[in-house]
Structure 1
Amino acid sequence: MGKYTLIITEKPDAALRIASALDKKGKAKKFEDSGVPYYVAERDRKIVVVPAIGHLYTVAEERRGRNYYPVFSFRWVPRYVAERGAKQIRTWIETISKLANDADVFVDACDYDIEGSLIGYCILKYACGDKEDVSKRMKYSTLTKKELENSYAKMLPRLDFALIEAGRTRHEVDWLYGVNLSRALTIAARDWSGKYATLSTGRVQGPT
């Protein structure tokens, strides 16, 4: 296919709408890799648009095991590493990584909010190989052809790092709060009753 622009979207529907809006004939071609859809559009140059399915990465502890407390060390990992039932995520990440290999321009077109900005950032950093500092940003509020064309023509030269840091901080604090409170409750219950039972709480479930 030669070199191309790779656009990352948050959801499959957005990928289709963006690719169709940017294709000079309005008919982007759909392809699939291991069940993961992506679209190829022709404009001033070739454009490949690939969707995520929400968050592909999450926070997890550095050290395995549940028998220590408190927990302060963590890292960002693919969701399939940290969560049961997220095997589909591996295929999605592998497809995006393959598409990133032949791209020379990277664009985050996820929703322009805290979660969308974090989703795009994580994909560009981890799946695309540390492309977050050289990526551009599409900003739009509707998926109309006119607005998407305007967003592509007037892309921001860099990612929205203020929103990204807000998202990273929220996820990391929520995780630290939840894992440490849950382990404290579990240990206290075990010491009081002599029996082990996992108890869970977090920022939303517990007192703040």
Structure 2
Amino acid sequence: MELIVTEKDNAARRIADILSDGTADADRVNGVNVYGWGGKRVIGLSGHVVGVDFPPEYDDWRDVEPHELIRAPIDTEPTQEAIVAALRRLSRDADRVVIATDYDREGELIGKEAFDIVRGVDESVPIERARFSSITEREVTEAFNNTGELDFDLAAAGEARQTVDLVWGAALTRFLSLSAGQLGEDFISVGRVQGPTLKLLVDREREIEAFDPDDYWELFADLTKEAGAGFEAQYFYLDDDGTEARRIWEEAAAENANEALADAESAAVEEVNRRTRTDEPPAPFNTTQFIRAASSLGYSAQRAMSIAEDLYTAGYMTYPRTDNTVYPDDLDPEELLKSFSETFFGDSVEELLEQDEITPTEGDEETTDHPPIHPTGEMPTDLDDDEWEVYELVVRRFFATCAPAATWEHLRVVAGV
């Protein structure tokens, strides 16, 4: 029996559906979903199924000095016992195991955890690694036809991060809590990411508290052209340096200017100036830029990534954790655009395909593990409103990277009263 191990249950279901051509049946092993067909079985983990902690003799905060935790031994214990038990049970009958967790540092560590569990049952069964950046039929099929080995160095990097998080967090949390006399539910939590993040928040809050605001006034007028069309105009003046200024810093001066403008019956055009500006299309999404764009739609980083991971698992977009901003050479932008021709996005695609040549933009960061975030060409039919909004964000960003530069015309009219 060939055993396939994925990072989550929904990925297991999707991969089983792809590899079995939709014939896989769902079963339960030790209360855990398992999908099988033709001598193959797929089990999904739940992220990390084992965790790290200190031995029980280090549990008492008052008896153990915080600095002792720095060199204390670290135990690894199952955190998802039902899944671990199911994986062990399936491993007994496996003659080949394929690790198909996410293709990144944490995914490699989770794969290493599964590797160790399988090795604890069978020391000789072949264990291979399948890597893919999107859960689409093409990529999954190619990944399973070209399996490799687990990257133990990358997994070790994940283990180092895990150990640092434990030691740093536990030692400093105990030290500060004991120093402040805050124990029990009132302890002071400190972490590798938590501490610096809190520092950023404190610094920003202090800047806000130290800010001394100054009042100023700006004047706007609703004007009407002789032809009858209306528009809004903003008042400006020349300051002592001869520079245009729009903010008036004295209330009396603002009132005087307002009265003078209100009394004027007409304004004479003194200057008309046209200029153009060219905006280059944006670079492809990496994780940071995706989160920033999603935040403008009102999504927190956590919510945006949660939705993105669901869309990735469903096969609608590529892996959302990436630093890369350069599309790989094997991505054909024209073919990917054409996959949206008969969809909701058809009009936008038609305009893009009218270009003589489609050359996507490139960002400054180029890596080889994952492509930038982009749609796979699969058109979803079962998304809720939030999922659709994030999906559309990813699709339209890809479209934008394939678009020509935008040219804007600015018209400036100066009128005197």
Same fold (TM over 0.5): yes
Shift of 1:20: 1.8
Question: Given the alignment, which residue of 1, 5, 10 partners 1:8?
Answer: 5
Supply the distance in 2 between the matched residues of 1:120 and 1:61 (Cα, whole angstroms).
Answer: 23
Aligned to 1:66: 60
- Taking the aligned partners of 1:183 and 1:35, their CA distance within structure 2 comes to 38
Kept in 2: contact 1:59–1:74 (CA 8 A): yes
Question: Superposed, which structure 2 residues align to 1:37-186 within 5 Å?
Answer: 37-42=33-38, 46-64=39-57, 65-67=59-61, 68-69=64-65, 70-71=68-69, 72-79=72-79, 89-126=80-117, 129=120, 134-156=126-148, 158-186=149-177
Say whether the 8 Å CA contact 2:29–2:86 is kept in structure 1: yes
Q: Is the 8 A contact 1:93 1:127 kept in 2?
A: no
Match of residue 205, structure 1, among 166, 169, 194: 194
Any stretches of 5+ residues in structure 2 without a counterpart? 200-417
The alpha carbon displacement at 1:29 in A equals: 1.4
CA contact (8 A) 2:92 2:122 kept: no
Q: 1:105 to 1:127 in 2, by over 3 A?
A: closer
1:96 and 1:128 in contact (8 A); partners too: no
Q: Percent of counterpart pairs with the same letter?
A: 33
Superposition deviation, residue 126 in structure 1: 2.9
* Inter-CA distance 58–171: structure 2 relative to 1 (3 Å threshold): same
* Residue identity matched to 1:31: D
1:17 to 14, 28, 39: 14
Answer yes or no: is the 8 Å Cα contact 1:124–1:130 preserved in 2: no
Please tell me the residue identity of whatever aligns with 2:113.
C
Gaps of 5+ in 1: 80-88
Letter in 2 for 1:153: N
Aligned ranges 1:19-38 → 2 under 5 Å: 19-23=16-20, 25-38=21-34
* 2:377 alignment partner in structure 1: none
Worse overlay, 65-74 or 159-168: 65-74
Contact 2:109 2:158 in 1 (8 A): yes
Q: Distance in 2 between matches of 1:117 and 1:77?
A: 18
Q: From the CA coordinates, give the structure whose radius of gyration is larger.
A: 2
Further displaced range: 195-204 or 165-174 = 195-204
The alpha-carbon distance between structure 1 residues 37 and 102, as it changes in their structure 2 partners (threshold 3 A), is: same
1:68-102 CA-partner distances (Å, limit 9, x unpaired): 122122122112xxxxxxxxx22121111111111
Alignment: residue pair count: 188
Inter-partner Cα distance in structure 2 for 1:10 and 1:137: 13
Q: 1:47 to 1:7 in 2, by over 3 A?
A: same
Contact 2:132–2:143 (8 Å) recurs in 1 = yes
Deviations 1:141-165 (A, max 9, x none): 1111122111111001x20112201
User: Conserved in 2, the CA contact under 8 Å of 1:59 and 1:77?
Assistant: yes
- SS state of the match for residue 139, structure 2? helix
**Aligned-residue CA RMSD (Å):** 2.3
